[in-house]
């Protein structure tokens, strides 16, 4: 029987899979500095209970609001942007300071999704936010739904409205996946099959700095983006992948937290499939097929 001979490259990749278990832990131990020079890493998310402001006596409106509350966690998951912790776990812990600290330290959550529904006589105002810690606004998006005779208050309308607002919100994040460990010429990434990555895909890596914040909310509204290089996906699993570095703008200039945007991500493809036009700032870090 002939011998099976493994190439050096294959052996390196095989050994590198051993780093993936620890790669998910790299960013979970310490909370990030909101004033840090480079943008922090967001991989694991929790969904906070929906807040409702004002009341309505209209049964159809009340039922629609409940539908929005029920569907929001599903939409967060379907964006495929985060690894989402179970709702019950977050619900049990988020109301106390000790519980919040446990979610961040033990469950390694580094971002929270929250929806507020403001009921007006003539409209519903949806406010979606990404928060960290639980009270700090990172990004915010709003959507107004008119309450007219022509408005169909159905499950389909609720689902589309939530995707419109939340997918637009997460698409403001400049990176969809991050470099989680480095062993030149290979890197591990925080995205895999779930994020649409396939073996052979090319990604353009960038480094990001928050450049400008909203005066009132403190939310990020602009970023500085620096090209880092290009890599090719050589292996992938559900939420992790290995890529081989093909090019760096500066030799060995790559760091944990560098990342890329992916047009294959559900939240970005949602709008791209409707308009066939990519969003601002995506061009320099888009997934290349």
Per-residue pLDDT, averaged over 242-258, amounts to: 93
Q: Is the pLDDT of residue 203 over 90?
A: yes
Same domain, 51 and 84: yes
CATH number for the domain that contains residue 85:
3.40.50
Same domain, 153 and 126: yes
Q: Which two tokens stand for residue 257?
A: 């937290």
Which percentage of the chain shows pLDDT scores above 90? 69
DSSP states of 211-258: EEE-TTT--EEEEEEEEEEEEEEEEE-SS-EEEEEEEESSTT---TT-
Cα 34–chain centre separation: 17
Examine residue 247 and state whether it is found in any structural domain, yes or no: yes
Among residues 170, 201, 223, which one ends one of the domains? Answer: 170
Q: List strand residue ranges (DSSP E) for the chain, in order.
A: 44-47, 51-53, 83-84, 111-119, 123-131, 137-146, 177-183, 186-189, 202-213, 220-236, 241-248, 259-260
Question: Domain total for the chain?
Answer: 2
Q: Maximum Cα–Cα distance for the chain, whole Å? A: 79
Question: Which of 35-39, 112-116, 219-223 is predicted with the least confidence, judged by mean pLDDT?
Answer: 35-39
Same domain, 202 and 123: no
Same domain, 139 and 222: no
With CA atoms as reference, report the closest residue to 20 among 238, 253, 263. Answer: 238
Among residues 148, 170, 192, which one ends one of the domains? Answer: 170
Among residues 113, 136, 170, which one ends one of the domains? Answer: 170
Q: Which two tokens stand for residue 74?
A: 């599903």
pLDDT tens column, 123-160: 999 999 999 877 889 999 999 999 998 899 999 999 99
Q: Which two tokens stand for residue 28?
A: 């979970």
CATH number for the domain that contains residue 239:
2.40.10.410
Question: Mean pLDDT over all residues of the chain?
Answer: 85
Q: List strand residue ranges (DSSP E) for 54-169, in order.
A: 83-84, 111-119, 123-131, 137-146
Same domain, 154 and 246: no
Q: Could you check whether the bond before residue 185 is cis, i.e. omega within 30 degrees of 0? A: yes
Confidence of residue 240 (pLDDT cuts 50, 70, 90): very high
Q: Is the pLDDT of residue 285 over 80?
A: no
Examine residue 82 and state whether it is found in any structural domain, yes or no: yes
Boundaries of domain holding 125: 44-170
């Amino acid at each position: 029987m002939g011998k099976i001979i493994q190439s050096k490259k294959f052996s390196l990749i095989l050994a590198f899979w051993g780093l993936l278990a620890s790669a998910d832990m790299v960013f979970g131990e310490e909370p990030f500095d909101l004033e840090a020079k480079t943008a922090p890493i967001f991989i694991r998310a929790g969904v906070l209970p929906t807040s409702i402001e004002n009341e309505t006596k209209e049964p159809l409106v009340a039922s629609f609001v409940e539908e929005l509350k029920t569907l929001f966690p599903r939409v967060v998951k379907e964006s495929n942007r985060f690894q989402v912790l179970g709702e019950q776990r977050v619900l049990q812990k988020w109301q106390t300071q000790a519980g919040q600290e446990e979610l961040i330290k033990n469950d390694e959550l580094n971002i929270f999704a929250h929806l507020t529904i403001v009921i007006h006589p003539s409209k519903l105002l949806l406010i979606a936010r990404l928060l960290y810690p639980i009270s700090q606004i990172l990004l915010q998006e709003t959507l107004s739904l008119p309450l007219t005779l022509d408005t169909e208050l159905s499950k389909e309308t609720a689902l589309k409205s939530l995707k419109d607002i939340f997918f637009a919100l997460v698409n403001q994040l400049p990176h969809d996946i991050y470099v989680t460990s480095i062993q030149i010429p290979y890197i591990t990434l925080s995205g895999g099959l779930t994020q649409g990555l396939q073996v052979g895909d090319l990604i353009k890596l960038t480094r990001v700095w928050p450049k400008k914040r909203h005066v009132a909310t403190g939310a990020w509204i602009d970023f500085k983006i620096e090209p880092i290089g290009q890599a090719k996906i050589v292996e992938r699993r559900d939420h992790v992948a290995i890529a081989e570095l093909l090019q760096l703008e500066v030799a060995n200039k790559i760091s944990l937290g560098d990342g890329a945007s992916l047009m294959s991500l559900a939240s970005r493809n949602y709008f791209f499939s409707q308009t066939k036009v990519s969003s601002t700032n995506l061009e320099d870090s888009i997934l290349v097929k």
